[in-house]
Amino acid sequence: MDKVIYKFDTINSLQIGNNVKQNHFIFQTAENRRLTSVYHSHDFYEFVIVLRGMCLAFINGEEYRLERDDIVFMSPKDSHSFLKQSEDLKISSFSVKACEVEDICEYNGKTIPECFDFKQHPLIFSEPQVQKILSFVHNNVNNDLLVYEYKFLLSYLIKTLIEKSEVGDGNECPAVIINALKEMKKRENLKKGVSAFVAESGYSRPQLLRLVKKYLNMTLYEYVSEQRLETAYNDLILTSLRPEDIAEELGFKSFSHFSQKFKKVYGITPAELRKQNGAWTI
């Protein structure tokens, strides 16, 4: 089957409003119109999110039924079109320039992993894996987003995608590790860091390092750092705690260290985010 290759820069130049200046991200929502039947791929990454109804997608030569709150990930190598849809279909697409995905993966100690490509089945994930993502999308489909909001949304999507593809069917993460990961959401454990992770797991540090690398594809320090930053982000927009106090409470070496790592991941400093007055949560 012949296919069309869409270019990000070409599509972006056709967008209206803030998408022109947010030139690494395009967020579109389609309602009451037919989706494209053109079989195509593109030079960017795309997340397709079903907000209502149903559609039948043709992806890499196979048909897949997508329903409300399903999210499907498309890499530049993937080809797809839409075959049919329900009358009430409402769908959003989050298109991201390749360099942004590469930056997030690099932060997680990865190149663009092979597991991001469709093998026998597309990477489709739905509730309860992505409750926070879906809540944000449902509440912001008609809003103009800022760059740091796009980046934060992308970081959650990539994190979820990595966790799903690394664990996979038949390679389930041990229950004791899953329980330790839950315990590491607690502030007192985040402040203690890796030592708390080891204690909660019941494994020796070398054993835990090997297991976390196997199932999460990151080091113990990388996991703790990621959780600290996510907690800090929510604190900045949902509480009145001073950024300096947040950094100390979560175990960062210094406020400057915290601020530097925060900006690297989210593209905005903690102080700049606080000035936005916490407009949304994810």
Domains in the chain (CATH in brackets) are 4-144 (2.60.120.10), 175-275 (1.10.10.60)
Question: Is residue 44 exposed (0-12), middle (13-18) or buried (19+ Cβ within 10 Å)?
Answer: buried
Where does the pLDDT of residue 111 fall: very low under 50, low under 70, confident under 90, or very high at 90 and above? Answer: low
Where does the pLDDT of residue 60 fall: very low under 50, low under 70, confident under 90, or very high at 90 and above? Answer: confident
166-211 pLDDT, tens per residue? 544 445 677 788 888 888 989 999 999 999 999 888 888 888 888 8
Q: What is the pLDDT of residue 162?
A: 65
Q: What is the pLDDT of residue 27?
A: 84
Is a pLDDT exceeding 80 seen at residue 217? yes
Q: If you average pLDDT over residues 135-159, what whole number do you get?
A: 77
Is a pLDDT exceeding 60 seen at residue 19? no
As given in the structure block, the two tokens for residue 237 are: 């927009």
Chain length of the chain: 282
3 or 5, higher pLDDT: 5
Q: What is the pLDDT of residue 248?
A: 94
Query: Are the C-beta atoms of residues 2 and 42 closer than 8 Å to each other?
Result: no
Is a pLDDT exceeding 90 seen at residue 119? no
From the list 31, 21, 24, the residue with the least C-alpha distance to 9 is: 24
Query: Cα 146 to chain center, whole Å?
Result: 16
Where does the pLDDT of residue 144 fall: very low under 50, low under 70, confident under 90, or very high at 90 and above? Answer: confident
Indicate the pTM of the whole model: 0.55
Is a pLDDT exceeding 70 seen at residue 278? no
| Opening angle at CA 130, ends 113 and 189, nearest 5 | 85
The strand pair at 45-52 and 80-85 is best described as unpaired
Specify the DSSP element, H or E, that contains 64.
Answer: strand 62-67
Question: Is residue 248 exposed (0-12), middle (13-18) or buried (19+ Cβ within 10 Å)?
Answer: middle
Is a pLDDT exceeding 60 seen at residue 227? yes
Is a pLDDT exceeding 60 seen at residue 216? yes
**Which of 36-40, 100-104, 162-166, 225-229 has the largest mean confidence?**
225-229
Dihedral sign from CA coordinates of 117, 118, 123, 124: positive
Is a pLDDT exceeding 50 seen at residue 117? no
Is a pLDDT exceeding 50 seen at residue 149? yes
As given in the structure block, the two tokens for residue 150 are: 């796009």
Question: Is residue 250 exposed (0-12), middle (13-18) or buried (19+ Cβ within 10 Å)?
Answer: buried
Is a pLDDT exceeding 80 seen at residue 110? no
From the list 40, 44, 41, the residue with the least C-alpha distance to 24 is: 44
Is a pLDDT exceeding 80 seen at residue 263? yes
Where does the pLDDT of residue 118 fall: very low under 50, low under 70, confident under 90, or very high at 90 and above? Answer: very low
64-99 pLDDT, tens per residue? 888 887 888 888 888 889 999 999 999 988 889 888
